[in-house]
Amino acid sequence: MTDSALELRAGLYQTRIDDIHSAQSKVSVVFCDELGEFKPVVAVNAINLPNYKVGWFKLVNQQTAFVMLIGDIDKVTVVSTKNATALISGDINRDNAGAGLQAQAFR
């Protein structure tokens, strides 16, 4: 992570969170069964398979979030800012179902 942005990519899906260090930003690690309002419930534009959830999902709180949950996971990093939400966990560098995965922090 750098001074101003976090760029996440998974196959065809990507997002950039520019306000990562703003006062309203929050980064936390929670157990999957404690996601509460941040639990993904509906795939909006995503791949939604067992042990592979990547793309845009509607959350319990009705926000749309970028999700990268890959593999058998028990904890999730939740990045929440004024303008964006992302859920990240698992083997984000694994090539699964032909999707070259990578997460990179950019300035």
Question: Got the DSSP string for 44-94?
Answer: EEEEEETTEEEEEEEETTS-EEEEEEESS-SEEEEEE-SS-EEEEEE-TT-
Amino acid in position 92: I
Q: What is the per-residue pLDDT across 11-59, written as a single tens digit (0 to 9) for each?
A: 889 999 887 777 778 889 999 999 999 999 999 999 999 999 999 999 9
Read off the pTM.
Answer: 0.80
